[in-house]
């Protein structure tokens, strides 16, 4: 009998008390050579944190999670032949060795309350990725043992197995009305309509209800908002001026339509990165490129070189966060201190975007392009006449605008664009926008009144003949040849960095970069690499994001940080099984979401009082021992106020509207510096940075807006009037069905009945009652 089996047979494989036994042993025998406390990490190893153990040193992880009895730490303290013995001088005392063996065999658990901070391991990479770096779980291919998961039953089997291993079980099913409210909000962001709630109560067919919700046009509005959070969508520039972007909404509508049509995620991602290169004859692919125009922009920034570099860096940062789940921005100026990401990796990814130029004049269809061409022919003579009149005034405006730039940019603006290098053309274009601004406002700076009136008259005539053309904010490439960005390496001369993928993932070969018509083909190669069949990271990250949106917490809790600073998956086999099923299913998101919300795991009651041990051990519900529970998102709060009173305009798509319009919140104008007060108070994304998960707050402002805010007051009055005038017999039931999408519970019905008993026919009474329901926790939270 082996020693390991002997320990297990004696029941010693359960972990010893960490603070009383393990930590003192580590301090006495290990920390002097392998700890942040002493500043020593011999062999690159520290053992004073969970991160340190799983990252390991030069030889790889110190603990083998799959085969604990083969853990290098265990073999070292046993002084096994062929393994570097630890401690090197003499063997551990037997009691200390047994404590550590029991601990390692139990998985080396490291409780947060241990008194030792689980610091990640700093690494001096010096531009090198080690074999140990490549062993990090997120960079591995899908586990060969992970069976494709594409249905609800398989999800339940995985979760049940995990609970059973802990001696736990699932909660009882949620009340059918609570389940319908939960799934309706999760799939459409709206409460169940009264008719839907009644129909489901009569025939609680969950499968049919889910199919109906997935087919709703409101599905794309709900899940499109989730994507817009990630890519920091807004309709204004930011900075102090915060200029409005009148055509940015076309990208928002493209995203909503893509979710509604269940566009495969690999194509969805590819079009946003390189639609012009991959599908040049498809107008919608040009709208998808609005993703590359979502960053902030300061129109009067005089250092156009620095501004253009900042724009490219922003695109690089967001793409790494959203697609790969990697915080690559930390490697912009030096090798990442903790993750296996090099400075070279950052600038190699940035190089894929180095050919971009902004376009605001691209028509969204062939028909629109033909209209523009016809208008140009029709107005050619008048436009030429106007140009001659404006020419002397433009020369003055150009010189005034030019003088505001530093000398090197003045020289650039003086050079004909066709004589510039690709990189110079990009900076020229950004700087010239400020010149064009002066041209557009030429009348305001002209002192010659006669010339001013003549030009004004001609402009008005042209404007009367000019239709509104449908264009989109998009991009193209500066040409087939581009300049590689230059990176300053510490202690070395700056060097150009060619396009490339992170070194730690270079086993996934980059497709050949093929020059296309007036385009470098770089973004197409990146898009194909990200969505290639060998890349496990992109589909894994997206599957995890969907899980987080459905269950409230991702299988990997840090949804945009899959490096060593992030958390490992709670259910790794399930994550890989879902990812395999997602890929095998053609990267379709609706079937993935359907399987999740149809599962019994999702359908559990969110309230569970029978087993306090579960709550104490897993207060975040990471192992799904109860159903998901959450507060409504900001948009859901606002939209539900309108929906409850039957005043919501459910029109899908179109230009952004003002805050007071009764449209769904996704269609409000999104200004970065001037946000809707209700949405801001309830933690809506600000459009300034990628938002993988909203962190709900509880504030007095929220309470005041629901109590005294104009929207809550107006919709409470409209709801109260609707209840009185509807002619429905049981007004209390009608109120709850409209406000909450469910019937009142007995205690709720009794409380309302007592409150309205002496004022049952008073419209003001029902307004107050409706207001009380609309500001209640029952309205704000999903059970």
Q: What is the pLDDT of residue 122?
A: 64
SS3 at position 600: coil
Residue 671 and residue 615: Cα distance in Å, rounded?
A: 41
Separation between Cα atoms, residue 327 and residue 334, nearest integer Å? 13
Angle at 502 between CA 314 and CA 39, to 5 degrees: 95
How far is the C-alpha of 461 from the C-alpha of 457, rounded, in Å?
A: 6
The distance from CA 603 to its chain's CA centroid, rounded to whole angstroms, is: 25
Alpha helical stretches, state H, 189-245: 194-202, 206-215, 217-230
Residue 491 has what pLDDT?
64
**DSSP class of 668:** B
Q: How far apart are CA 650 and CA 646, in angstroms?
A: 10
β partners of residue 663: 649
Closest CA to 155 of 757, 724, 575: 575
- Phi then psi for residue 668, to 5 deg, are -70, 150
C-alpha distances (whole Å) from 4 to each of 39, 63, 85, 381 are 33, 15, 18, 92
Residue 359 corresponds to which tokens in the numbers above?
């376009």
Cα dihedral 430/434/436/439 (nearest 10): -170
Cα angle 80-84-87, degrees, rounded to a multiple of 5: 95
In 3D space, the residue among 46, 24, 23 whose CA is nearest the CA of residue 34 turns out to be 46
Alpha-carbon torsion (675, 676, 680, 686), positive or negative? negative
pLDDT given for residue 14 in this prediction: 57
Q: What is the 3-state secondary structure (H, E, C) of 463-489?
A: HHHCCCCCEEEEEEECCCCCCCCEECC
Q: Which helix (H) or strand (E) holds 360?
A: strand 356-363
- Per-residue burial over 76-115, b = 16 or more CB atoms within 10 Å of its CB, e = otherwise: bbbbeeeeebbeeeeebeeebbbbbbbbbbeebebeeebe
CB atoms within 10 A of CB 631: 18
pLDDT in tens, 361-398: 989 988 898 999 999 898 898 889 888 888 988 999 99
Distance CA 595, CA 102 (A): 39
Cβ-contact 533, 106 below 8 angstroms: no
Residue 272 C-alpha from the chain's centroid? 15
How is 103-162 classified by DSSP, letter by letter?
HHHTT----GGGSS--PPPP---TT---TTGGG-GGGSPPPTT-----SHHHHHHHHHHH
Distance, in Å, from the CA atom of 776 to the CA atom of 765, rounded to the nearest integer, reads 17
Q: Tell me what pLDDT residue 36 has.
A: 63
Give residue 124's pLDDT: 66
Report pLDDT digits (tens) over 238-273. Answer: 999 999 999 999 999 999 999 999 999 999 999 999
Sequence-distant (6+) residues with CB within 8 A of 185 are 191, 632, 636, 782
Q: Where are the domains of the chain?
A: 2-114, 230-476+495-504, 707-782
Helix (H) or strand (E) holding 778: helix 777-780
Cα gap 423→689, rounded to integer Å: 26
Cα-based angle 675, 681, 683 (whole degrees, multiple of 5): 90
Tokens of 180: 């319908």
Q: How many CB atoms lie within 10 A of CB 762?
A: 14
Pick the closest to residue 51 from 621, 555, 453, 561 (CA basis). Answer: 561
Q: What is the pTM of this model?
A: 0.84
269 forms beta bridges with: none
In angstroms and rounded to an integer, the radius of gyration of the C-alpha atoms of the chain is 31
For 192, other C-beta atoms within 10 Å of its C-beta total 25
**The residue to which tokens 């979401």 are assigned:** 593
- Closest of 259, 119, 221, 189 to residue 639, by C-alpha: 189
Which three-class secondary structure state does DSSP give residue 773? helix
Range list of H helices, 604-661: 612-617, 634-644
pLDDT value of position 660: 93
Tally of CB atoms within 10 A around 676: 21
Categorise residue 201: left if φ over 0, alpha if ψ from -120 to 50, beta otherwise: alpha
Contacts of 109 (CB under 8 A, 6+ apart): 15, 18, 103
**DSSP bridge partners of 604:** 173
d(CA 81, CA 40): 26
User: Could you list the mean pLDDT of each consecutive 10-residue stretch along the chain, which spans 783 residues?
Assistant: 37 65 83 70 77 74 83 88 81 86 85 50 76 91 91 96 93 96 98 95 96 98 98 95 95 98 98 96 91 95 95 96 95 90 94 95 89 90 88 91 95 96 96 92 79 84 85 94 84 85 91 91 97 93 98 94 90 96 97 98 93 86 94 98 97 96 97 95 94 91 95 96 83 94 93 81 87 96 93
Q: In sequence order, what are the residues at sequence separation of 6 or more whose Cβ sits closer than 8 angstroms to the Cβ of residue 627?
A: 171, 174, 182, 601, 602, 603, 604, 605, 606, 783
């Amino acid at each position: 009998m082996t020693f390991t089996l002997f320990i297990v047979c004696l029941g010693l494989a359960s972990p010893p008390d960490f603070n009383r036994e393990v930590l003192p042993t580590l301090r006495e025998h290990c920390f002097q050579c392998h700890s942040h406390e002493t500043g020593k990490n011999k062999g690159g190893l520290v053992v004073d944190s969970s991160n340190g153990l799983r990252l390991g040193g030069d030889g790889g992880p110190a603990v083998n999670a799959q085969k604990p009895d083969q853990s290098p730490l265990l073999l070292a303290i046993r002084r096994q032949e062929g393994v570097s013995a630890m401690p090197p001088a003499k063997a551990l005392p037997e009691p200390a060795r047994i404590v550590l063996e029991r601990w390692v065999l139990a998985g080396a658990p490291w409780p947060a309350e241990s008194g030792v901070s689980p610091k990640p391991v700093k690494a001096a990479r010096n531009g090198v990725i080690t074999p140990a770096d490549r062993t990090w779980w997120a960079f591995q291919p899908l586990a060969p043992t992970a069976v494709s998961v594409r249905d609800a039953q398989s999800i339940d089997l995985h979760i049940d197995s995990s609970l059973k291993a802990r001696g736990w079980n699932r909660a009882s099913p949620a009340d059918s009305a609570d389940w319908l409210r939960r799934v309706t909000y999760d799939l459409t962001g709206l409460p169940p309509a009264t008719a839907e709630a009644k129909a489901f109560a009569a025939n609680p067919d969950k499968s049919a209800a889910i199919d109906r919700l997935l087919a709703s046009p409101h599905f794309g509005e709900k899940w499109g908002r989730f994507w817009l959070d990630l890519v920091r969508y807004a309709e204004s520039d930011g900075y102090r001026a915060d200029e409005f972007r009148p055509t940015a909404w076309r990208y928002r509508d493209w995203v909503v339509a893509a979710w509604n049509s269940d566009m495969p995620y690999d194509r969805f991602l590819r079009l946003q990165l390189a639609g012009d290169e991959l599908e040049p004859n498809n107008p919608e692919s040009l709208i998808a490129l609005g993703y590359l125009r979502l960053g902030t922009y300061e129109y009067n920034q005089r250092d156009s070189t620095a501004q253009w570099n900042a724009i490219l860096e922003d695109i690089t940062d967001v793409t790494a966060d959203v697609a790969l789940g990697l915080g690559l921005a930390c490697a912009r100026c030096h090798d990442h201190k903790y993750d296996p990401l090099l400075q070279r990796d950052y600038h190699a990814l940035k190089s894929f975007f180095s050919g971009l130029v902004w376009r605001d004049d691209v028509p969204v269809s062939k028909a629109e392009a033909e209209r523009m061409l016809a208008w140009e022919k029709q107005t050619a003579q008048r436009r030429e006449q106007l140009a001659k009149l404006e020419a002397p005034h433009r020369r003055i405006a150009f010189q005034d605008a030019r003088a505001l730039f530093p000398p090197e940019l003045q020289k650039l603006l003086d050079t004909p664009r066709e004589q510039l290098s690709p990189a110079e053309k990009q900076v020229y274009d950004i700087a010239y926008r400020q010149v064009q601004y002066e041209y557009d406002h030429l009348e305001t700076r002209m002192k010659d009144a006669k010339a001013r009136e003549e030009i004004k008259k001609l402009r008005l005539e042209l404007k009367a003949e000019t239709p509104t053309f449908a264009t989109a904010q998009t991009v193209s490439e500066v040409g087939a040849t581009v300049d590689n960005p230059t990176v300053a390496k510490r202690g070395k001369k700056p060097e150009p960095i060619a396009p490339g993928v992170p070194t730690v993932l270079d086993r996934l070969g980059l497709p050949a970069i093929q020059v296309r018509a007036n385009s470098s083909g770089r973004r197409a190669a990146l898009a194909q690499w990200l969505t290639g069949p060998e890349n496990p990271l992109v589909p894994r990250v997206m599957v995890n994001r969907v899980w987080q949106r459905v269950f409230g917490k991702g299988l990997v809790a840090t949804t945009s940080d899959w490096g060593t600073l992030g958390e490992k998956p709670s259910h790794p086999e399930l994550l890989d099984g879902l990812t395999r099923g997602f890929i095998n299913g053609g990267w379709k998101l609706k079937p993935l979401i359907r399987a999740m919300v149809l599962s019994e795991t999702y359908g559990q009651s969110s309230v569970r009082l029978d087993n306090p041990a579960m709550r104490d051990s897993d207060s975040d519900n990471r192992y799904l021992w109860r159903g998901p529970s959450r507060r409504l998102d900001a948009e859901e709060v606002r939209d539900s106020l309108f929906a409850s009173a039957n005043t919501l305009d459910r029109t899908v798509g179109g230009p952004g509207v003002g805050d007071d319009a009764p449209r769904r919140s996704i269609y409000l104008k999104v200004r970065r510096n001037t946000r809707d007060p209700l949405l801001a108070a309830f933690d809506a994304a600000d459009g300034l940075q990628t938002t993988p998960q909203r962190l709900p707050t509880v504030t007095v402002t929220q309470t005041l807006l629901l109590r005294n805010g104009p929207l809550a007051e107006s919709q409470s009055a409209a709801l109260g009037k609707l209840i009185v005038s509807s002619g429905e017999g049981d007004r209390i039931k009608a109120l709850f069905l409209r406000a909450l999408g469910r019937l009142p519970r007995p205690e709720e019905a009794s409380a309302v009945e007592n409150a309205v008993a002496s004022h049952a026919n008073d419209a003001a009474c029902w307004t107050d009652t409706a207001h009380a329901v609309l500001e209640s926790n029952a309205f704000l939270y999903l059970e």
